[in-house]
Chains A and B, each alone.
Chain A
Amino acid sequence: MSTLNLTLKVWRQAGPNDPGRFEVYEANGINEDMSFLEMLDVVNERLIAENKEPIAFDHDCREGICGSCGMVINGVPHGPKKLTTTCQLHMRNFKDGDTIVVEPWRATAFPVIKDLVVDRSAFDKIIQAGGYITAPTGAARDANSILIPKQIADQAFDAAACIGCGACVAACPNGAAQLFTAAKIAHLNLLPQGQPERWSRTVAMVDTMEEYFGSCTNYAECEAVCPKGISIEFIAKMNRDYLKAKFKDRRAVVKVDMTEAAG
């Protein structure tokens, strides 16, 4: 086990309307087995000892499954390791003497709250527009009575792996949220339970996305940084469903078409 001496350039910003700046911190004696967040914990403890306010950053499960953490590390959301959230990025991926630049997600739709913490509630707005099924409560039917081909179940699962961290938006030159929205739409639209609301869901979620985020121009930067490896194929699926839904709109504006839904 070896230790690293690092120089951190960290974005500090007191509040949403305050000007931000980079502060430089020496982070010496960092254990290579630490995660990036544990390294920041250590730096924060040292800052507190010097009566300086610790660096604010979001975190929760620290197991790569909650989607809370995320920062731009040396220009790349979640840092240099593929398919890895910031909390699962370990310091052995860095070299002794490295300078590491740490910034919050940069996107108009994600205003900075403090330091590395951004407001991602625009994602919630998209989910609220249709990221659910309106199943009635009461006795549920036997799960095995709805057969789902493995291929479809796998695809739905791949889409459902999205943890909503926002790295896709942070990586996109347009600040677009297509990958997130497409994943959330696909994981419901692929499954039988998602069919009744398929078309209204797609239109509602895409339209809400457009209110907050930029437009997709197929850079595919999102796919490159996604810690869960969500494929941009889902964006194609979303666009197709959106187009189909819009044609249906011409016949019935809000009505859900049950015959189509079954197909």
Chain B
Amino acid sequence: MTAAWRAHKKGAYFANPCFTQIHPTCIPVSGDYQSKLTLMSESLRNDGRIWVPKNPNDTRPPNQIPEEERDYYLERMYPSFANLVPRDVASRAAKRMVDAGYGVGPLKNGVYLDFKTAIERLGRSVIEQRYGNLFDMYENIAGENPYEVPMRIYPAVHYTMGGLWVDYNLMSNLPGLFVLGEANFSDHGANRLGASALMQGLADGYFILPTTIAGDLAPQLNTPVPSTDSPAFREAEEGVREQINRLLSIKGSRSVDSFHRELGKLMWDYCGMARNAEGLKHARQRIAELREEFWKDVKVLGEGESLNQSLEKAGRVADFFELAELMCQDALHREESCGGHFREEYQTPDGEAQRDDEHFAYVAAWEYCGPGKDAKLHKEDLVFEYVHPTQRSYK
């Protein structure tokens, strides 16, 4: 993130930041000390069945709840795709169940992912071969054995599909700045499928760049590389030094982590799985206030001349504030629901995402205009020549 964001602040457009991948199969929140909501691989949904008790007040352990009292809600709502619906659909369905009071676990904040049927059908050893490492990981974290007790899962934010804008040669709007893999915005559009980090790394790094970068490099053969004495380098170096000194000299009262947590909570609440205009406006204001507080009151101990993890983290969190503001700005401007961006105001009568292709079939590429200022929108129209977008249906 740091490299992409610093490039953005030097003029590279940042595209589609509002499209946020929410991962449906994460370990639910158990306390505020958690450093992450560990992602259990999506592959688990190949054999696991997702359900909640039909009675929201059911306190029995999952294995004592008989079949007819379970609601396999994805199988019920999406009979043709069932547990394999796309991530955004699976995530929102889980949120709906938990919001409606059907959540399971001590904090009633998860849904069951059950392998009982698969173990009966395929045998434990097949399941062990397929998912053994994930099951071990789950047991380590949750302290429950998923071969015997269903896993508890809940969606968590994984990733913004957005990134630096690039053309078909993977070059950003800054000549000579190529952006590969997850740092660019290109391959995922508004949604993102499994194994896409690997896919994009391979596609960009192995197939595309080797043939496109040559065209940029060839005319520059024998051009001397600018030295570290050049004014541009000096300026960048001075900028970094200044930021480091500023962070160290604030000597405020709040740790970097406390800001990070508060920012994360704001984003989850207002720019998460479901957004609306009012919430996004509120979040933008709160983020701006929190950013100002950060620059007045953050406490970074130690010095800048040797390894200082608080200082490193402070630099990242400073970037996160700005990215968060841009995500909210983009989410607020995109008045439709599309893939990983769900605006509550724009949904079909049965609660599915409602796109507005007439007004929003474009890439939103944002130009940085200075600290605390609105970014400037550049549109790249999406032209569909052969395959035309339609309303999805997984029913």
Contact = CB atoms under 8 A, between A and B. Distances in A.
A56 B143 CA distance: 28
Interface stretch (A35-43, A98-106, A216-224, A232-240): A35-43
Nearest to A161: B133
B262 interface: no
Nearest to A137: B210
Contact of A49 (B136, B206, B255): B255
Interface in B29-63: 30-31, 33-36, 38-39
A146 B309 CA distance: 45
A253 to B, nearest CB: 32
Nearest to B140: A88
Contact of A114 (B38, B141, B299, B307): B307
B206 A140 contact: yes
A54 to B, nearest CB: 6
A56 B306 CA distance: 12
A25 B33 CA distance: 19
A42 B307 contact: no
Nearest to B210: A137
A15 interface: yes
A35 B257 contact: no
Contact of B257 (A15, A41, A56): A41
B257 A138 contact: no
Given A48-B299, A56-B307, A88 B137 contact: yes
Contacts of A1: 106
A221 B258 CA distance: 40
B310 interface: yes
A131 interface: no
Contacts of A53: 301-302, 310
Interface residues of B, number: 27
B301 A51 contact: yes
B211 to A, nearest CB: 8
Interface string B129-162: 0000000110011010000000000000000000
A34 B33 contact: yes
B301 A41 contact: no
B35 A38 contact: yes
Nearest to B206: A137
Contacts of A249: none
Contacts, number: 67
B31 A31 contact: yes
B143 A92 contact: yes
Interface residues of A, number: 34
Contact of B30 (A33, A51, A137, A140): A33
Interface in B318-368: none
Given A41-B257, A137-B210, A48 B307 contact: no
B301 A62 contact: no
A137 B206 CA distance: 6
A100 B210 CA distance: 51
B309 A56 contact: yes
B143 A52 contact: no
A113 interface: yes
Given A88-B137, A90-B140, A54 B307 contact: no
Contacts of B39: 63
B143 A31 contact: no
B35 A48 contact: no
Given A138-B210, A140-B206, A54 B301 contact: yes
B307 A113 contact: yes
Interface string A129-148: 00000000110100000000
Interface in B249-308: 255, 257-258, 299, 301-302, 306-307
A172 B160 CA distance: 42
Contact of B35 (A33, A35, A84, A117): A35
Contacts of B306: 14-15, 114
Contact of B33 (A42, A64, A138): A42
Nearest to A85: B140
A109 to B, nearest CB: 19
B210 A64 contact: no
A48 B301 contact: yes
A114 B299 CA distance: 20
A54 B314 CA distance: 14
Contacts of A88: 137, 140-141
Contacts of B30: 33
Counting from the closest, the 8 A-B pairs by CB-CB distance are A137-B210, A114-B307, A48-B255, A88-B140, A53-B301, A53-B302, A38-B33, A56-B309
16 contacts: A1-B106, A15-B306, A33-B30, A33-B31, A33-B143, A37-B35, A38-B33, A41-B35, A53-B301, A53-B302, A54-B310, A56-B309, A62-B36, A63-B38, A88-B140, A90-B143
Given A37-B35, A62-B38, 10 more contacts: A33-B143, A34-B31, A42-B33, A53-B301, A54-B301, A62-B36, A88-B137, A89-B140, A92-B143, A117-B307
Interface of B: 30-31, 33-36, 38-39, 106, 136-137, 140-141, 143, 206-207, 210, 255, 257-258, 299, 301-302, 306-307, 309-310
